[in-house]
């Protein structure tokens, strides 16, 4: 059984309680019982720090062409702005 079949944080790769992301059911932070955040690009993250870490990892892996990276960065910034409101 791979980690992808378990609820886990994409940022720090620790296991969470609850359901893997693809099932569409919730996952929870083991220490607090709070619901895990769903990442803008899919998967669970345990904190906004880990959410940003995943985004930085995706940028560092250079998985997008530069135009695409700019669009994704703009979408991420909008997402961040929406959340503080
Ligand atoms: Zn994490």
What tens-digit pLDDT sequence spans the chain (85 residues)? Answer: 677 789 999 999 999 999 999 999 999 999 999 999 999 888 999 999 999 899 888 878 766 666 766 777 777 777 777 765 5
Burial 18-42 (b: 16+ CB within 10 A, else e): bbbbeeeeebbbeeeeeebbbbbee
Calculate how far, in angstroms, residue 17's C-alpha sits from the geometric centre of ligand 1: 13
Please give the pLDDT value at position 59.
77
Backbone torsion region of residue 42, taken as left when φ is above 0, otherwise alpha when ψ lies between -120 and 50, otherwise beta = left
* 3 state DSSP class of 70: helix
Please give the pLDDT value at position 60.
80
Instruction: Enter the pTM of the model.
Output: 0.73
Calculate how far, in angstroms, residue 82's C-alpha sits from the geometric centre of ligand 1: 21
Calculate how far, in angstroms, residue 15's C-alpha sits from the geometric centre of ligand 1: 9
Calculate how far, in angstroms, residue 51's C-alpha sits from the geometric centre of ligand 1: 8
């Amino acid at each position: 059984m791979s980690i992808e079949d378990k609820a886990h944080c994409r940022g720090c790769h620790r296991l969470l309680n609850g359901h893997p992301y693809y099932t569409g059911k919730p996952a929870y932070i083991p220490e607090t019982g709070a619901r895990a955040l769903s990442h803008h690009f899919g998967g669970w993250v345990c904190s906004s720090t880990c959410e940003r870490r995943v985004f930085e990892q995706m940028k560092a892996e250079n998985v997008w062409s530069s135009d695409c990276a700019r669009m994704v960065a703009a979408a991420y910034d909008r997402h961040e702005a929406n959340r503080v409101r």
